[in-house]
Chain A
Amino acid sequence: MTPLAKLLEAALFASARPIPSDELLALDPEASKAGVAAALDEVREHYDVDGHGVELVEIGGGWQILTRAEYTEAIERAQLASRPARLSAAALETLALIAYRQPLGRAEIEEIRGVAVGSVLKSLHERGLIDVVGRGEGLGRPLLYGTTPIFLEYFALRHLDELPRSDELAVALRAEPRAL
């Protein structure tokens, strides 16, 4: 591996969170954007081709070394690490709405989901998946929520654009409600 690839590997190993490209770039004052990209490719290939238990993944707007899925069960059985708790259906529904329509207020979420979402919003906020991104214009200037980088990390997304566009969703939903 090139020295830059080794440097990036060391930095990625040391960090518990995904490292954004520009932070990787800052590791070596002489490195160029293309150089970093090539070095990242080199690290990834190194893991994939040589056959390693970990892999390099682009995630949450950055890069991270993750264990391969086939070893998860063994690692968890040995209690070396544990998977994060699954999100409830209510939490997922609320997140889905915020992800697509952010910034979004509580009233709109409740209108669509048909249930109160106060406690769900609170726990999502506590887990760092959403954050307050502003205040609405309406009565009482309601808080507006948006997703965070942790949200992308949790769902292994590079950007929000990776979610299917609304016109890619099922046919039944794409169609405008026809005149009844």
Chain B
Amino acid sequence: MTELASAPWVLGAETAAAPPSFMIELTEFSGPLDLLLTLIREEQVDIYDIPIARVAEQFVARIRSLPLNEAAEYLEMAARLLRIKAQMLLPRAGDEEAWDDPRAELVRRLLEYQQMREVVDVLERAGEERRSRFARAYIPLAAAPPESPLALSLSELLAAVDRLLRITRQPTMHDVVQRAIDIPGAISTIRALLAIRAHAMWTDIVRSDAEPWQVLSTLLGLLEMAKLGECKVLQPQPFANVEITRDAASEAA
């Protein structure tokens, strides 16, 4: 356990393999900024003049000694601190005025975070005060008022049944007609015809008094056969008779 605890990010990386009992959430700090603020307070240093080398060292030491579940954010902060530390070591060019303090961004974030923590304290006190008092027991907001019991006599009930029966006496019946189009039938008709003759006309297949469904079935069947390459369909001009020719290739096959 001590070995695991000393290398928290390794533990984090092996989450899948590690038993869940090792997944200890760090509840002491709510994030890297919280830990950093705590360190600054403990060290009693000026937030505007953080001794970055010391604080970075402390920070890394703390996250090493703590078993972290989600170490990434702490590691990111550690990396940031070390980068600032490195930037502080760089020789400063020229006058002090023009020097951009590499800590400025961190200080801004810390102050912002600290301000938020103050609000948290206010909220916590207020919440605690409210928690110490009870309202009436919880009732779901959307609960509908209970319906009043039915006031109904037997004759009223029978009248209602009678009305219902009268309404349903002649139910509207719908005839569901099966889809009449018969493409396979049309195809076999055309096939039979083409088996005898290599050449046929539309009017040979569809009689002039054919029902619309027969015309449609034949047309769709014909197109299907043309697609399959069983025949060739030719209409020389609009509304002219359609010539159907047995396809030589399919005949060979």
Contacts and interface: CB of A to CB of B under 8 A. Distances in A.
Interface in B115-137: 115-120, 122-124, 126-127, 129-137
Contacts, number: 133
B109 A172 contact: no
B77 interface: yes
A166 B33 CA distance: 20
B113 interface: yes
B32 interface: yes
Given A114-B77, A115-B73, A163-B123, 15 more contacts: A16-B138, A16-B139, A66-B134, A72-B134, A92-B127, A93-B120, A96-B120, A96-B123, A113-B113, A115-B30, A155-B130, A156-B130, A173-B111, A177-B48, A180-B49
Interface of A: 13, 15-17, 57, 59, 64-69, 72, 75, 81, 83-84, 86-90, 92-93, 95-97, 99-100, 112-116, 153-157, 163-164, 166, 169-170, 172-173, 177-178, 180
A157 B126 contact: yes
9 contacts: A69-B132, A81-B137, A96-B120, A99-B123, A114-B33, A157-B126, A170-B115, A177-B48, A177-B108
Interface residues of B, number: 45
Given A92-B120, A96-B123, A164-B119, A156 B137 contact: no
B101 interface: yes
B109 A114 contact: yes
B135 A65 contact: yes
Interface of B: 27, 30-34, 47-49, 70, 73, 77, 101, 103-104, 107-109, 111-120, 122-124, 126-127, 129-139, 141
Given A69-B132, A96-B120, A177 B127 contact: no
A97 B118 CA distance: 11
Given A172-B114, A177-B48, A155 B133 contact: no
Given A16-B138, A180-B48, A97 B116 contact: yes
B119 A83 contact: no
Given A67-B134, A173-B111, A155 B31 contact: no
Contacts of A67: 133-135
- 4 tightest A-B CB contacts, nearest first: A156-B130, A96-B119, A180-B101, A115-B31
Interface of chain B: mostly helix, strand, loop or mixed:
helix
Contact of A17 (B107, B117, B129, B141): B141
A154 B130 contact: yes
A145 B117 CA distance: 19
B86 to A, nearest CB: 18
A82 B113 CA distance: 33
Contact of B114 (A16, A116, A173): A173
Interface centre among B77, B114, B120, B124 (most CB of A within 10 A): B120
> Quick one: which of B47, B77, B111 has the most chain A CB within 10 A?
B111
Contact of B73 (A88, A116, A154, A157): A116
Given A15-B136, A81-B137, A113 B126 contact: no
Contacts of A99: 119, 123
Nearest to B103: A180
A95 B109 contact: no
Contacts of B111: 172-173, 177
Nearest to B138: A16
Contacts of A69: 129, 132-133
Contact of B134 (A81, A93, A116): A81
